[in-house]
Amino acid sequence: MILSQLIGSSGRSGVGSGMGMSDPGRIAAQVVTGIGFLGAGAIIKEGLTIRGLTTAACLWVVAGIGMASGAGWYTIGIAATSIALCSLVGLQYFERLYQKDSYRVVTVVTTNDTDVSRITDTVKSKKLKIVFFDLDRNYLTGTTTIRLSIRLFHRGLTDKFCHGIIQSLEQPNIPLKSIRWDRP
């Protein structure tokens, strides 16, 4: 920003000298374009999960703070810094209070003689929805593999909720071989 101001003030040498008027805002506009490119690169989609939105937003905020400070508007830079820090630290605790969607895949391996509806009925609750169901029976090994893609709508930590589902599968008399819990 300081460089763009210097270029803008030194480029005003007049119409007859062959140099046109320079715009000090052009460098700031290119900073916005570059930070947008970096922010887009920080966003990653993994299956149904999107990561990096907070990182991309932080890049934008830091670029804005840097441009305000470079232009000499320190009050705006300090105010934006304090708002950003309060948002990042304060909203982290608020996030645990509201309900949100999370997606997970539960893979249950059991024997072929197990009733599959017992497993789905055990997993079902008001706070989750089975989005996709996959069944694979292996008659050579005598095992049935059940994959459930589920959407959790809950408040709090997802892993704690997931452990409760695993415990509910372990309590009934279902002959389990293994249970696996993954992110999609």
pTM of the complete model: 0.56
The pLDDT of residue 76: 92
Does residue 108 share a domain with residue 39? no
> Domain of 27?
2-6+22-94
| CA–CA dist 47, 42 (Å, integer) | 16
The structure tokens 């934008």 sit at: 60
pLDDT tens by residue, 115-142:
888 888 888 877 788 888 999 999 999 9
Does residue 122 share a domain with residue 77? no
Instruction: Kindly give the pairing relationship between strand 143-155 and strand 128-138.
Output: antiparallel
The pLDDT of residue 102: 79
Does residue 131 share a domain with residue 146? yes
Total structural domains in the chain?
A: 2
Does residue 65 share a domain with residue 36? yes
Does residue 105 share a domain with residue 89? no
Does residue 75 share a domain with residue 106? no
